[in-house]
Amino acid sequence: MKKLFCALLLLTQGGFAQKWELIDPNATRETVNLYKSLKKIQKRGTVFAHQHATEYGRGWSGDADRSDVKSVVGTHPGMIGVDFSGFTGRNPEEYKTRLKKVVEDHYNRGGIITVAWHFYNPMGKGGFYWAGSDSIQVVPRLIPGGDGHEKYKQILDDIADWAKSVKGANGEPVPMIFRPYHEFDGGWFWWGAPHCTVDEFKTLWKFTLSYLRDTKDVHNFIYAFSPDNKFNTEEEFLERYPGDEWTDMVGMDNYADMGRDRYDLAAAARKLKIVSDYGKKAKKLAAFTETGLESIPNDTWWTETLLKVMKTDKMRLSYVLVWRNDSRSETHYYAPHPGHSSVADFLKFHDDKYTWFESDLAKKNIYKK
């Protein structure tokens, strides 16, 4: 009786008595299995992810079954990051067709997909950065009651149609971690904190999820919430959090503390632990959703910076993603390529039992167990 009373008390006081489960009760079997697999993986390690890894790399683009990571260690990253940016850019149909193949190929090899959304301002002629998006408030215009709400629904219709069209070898919808409106605590994107209220942001998040899941019947998304690193407490981390019923995964993007602006590994670990601790408390997956060091000038960054931070205090983090390798830029790359000075250290990073790459995931059959 005492145990029952305590359980009821937790529920009535907004405690964390819920189960580990997706917020979509109709999630596909493969999506549920991915969620459960990530929960197990984060107890003992993390999946290594690379943005646009198989789409292009240093000096190449569009090659079949290629990535800079595979050229270095013999296997692709365990997770690839893709983006919905092209859905509202030039030649969207061509972009969607190409992206569909990229996602299906990686899934069929046993890998995982995460989707970011560098969303071009739908209410102006600019891009996704505030300074390049006509510098006008957009969020209040997209939520219910705004003059751009119907247009926003059409954009979500397009995403939903594409998400349901992406199929595995047996015809099943491919599960994806969808991470919209990332780094919202900064001011560089038009959805950033200085450009909309807390309530407006939460309303946008809730409408987006509800429309995709409940109206458009998209049931192959795991929803990830990821601010930048501007918080120092759990309260600050959760300032724009839409609620546990609206999120499957919590994360953080952090380049600044990891060598871009400074090397403050203690601060990086402390902030990441806030994410990990909240994930455990609220029964949510957790992740280091973006990080990296441009050009990787630190030859031991992989083991002496990234691994050190992530292994602090037994944190549970399902994946870590480093940013893309631009095919044309001489400096804009975040994963090693053949001949790079950090290759030896990256091989140690790959060989560490803590890190999971595509070949590791394929052995575990993560979508069926």
Q: Which two tokens stand for residue 342?
A: 């950090």
* Phi, psi of 318, deg, nearest 5: -75, -30
* DSSP class of 118: -
Q: What is the predicted pLDDT for the residue at 14?
A: 44
In this predicted structure, what is the pLDDT of residue 191?
98
pLDDT value of residue 173: 98
- Closest among 315, 319, 258 to 287, alpha carbons compared: 319
- Dihedral sign, Cα of residue 105, residue 225, residue 136, residue 203: positive
Q: Per-domain residue ranges for the chain?
A: 31-36+47-364
**Neighbour-count burial for 132-166, b at 16+ CB within 10 Å, e otherwise:** ebeeebbbbbbbeebebeeebbebbeebbebbeeb
Query: What pLDDT was estimated at residue 329?
Result: 96
Who's near 64: CB < 8 A, 6+ residues apart? Answer: none
Q: CA-based angle 25:40:317, to the nearest 5?
A: 95
pLDDT given at position 110: 97
pLDDT of residue 287: 98
Query: Tell me, what's the pLDDT at 2?
Result: 41
Please report, in tens digits, the pLDDT of each residue of the chain (369 residues total).
444 434 444 443 344 547 899 999 999 999 999 999 999 999 999 999 999 999 999 999 999 999 999 999 999 999 999 999 999 888 999 999 999 999 999 999 999 999 999 999 999 988 999 998 999 999 999 999 999 999 999 999 999 999 999 999 999 999 999 999 999 999 999 999 999 999 999 999 999 999 999 999 999 999 999 999 999 999 999 999 999 999 999 999 999 999 999 999 999 999 999 999 999 999 999 999 999 999 999 999 999 999 999 999 999 999 999 999 999 999 999 999 999 999 999 999 999 999 999 999 999 999 997
Res 126: pLDDT: 86
Read off the pTM: 0.95
Question: What CATH architecture is 31-36+47-364?
Answer: Alpha-Beta Barrel (3.20)
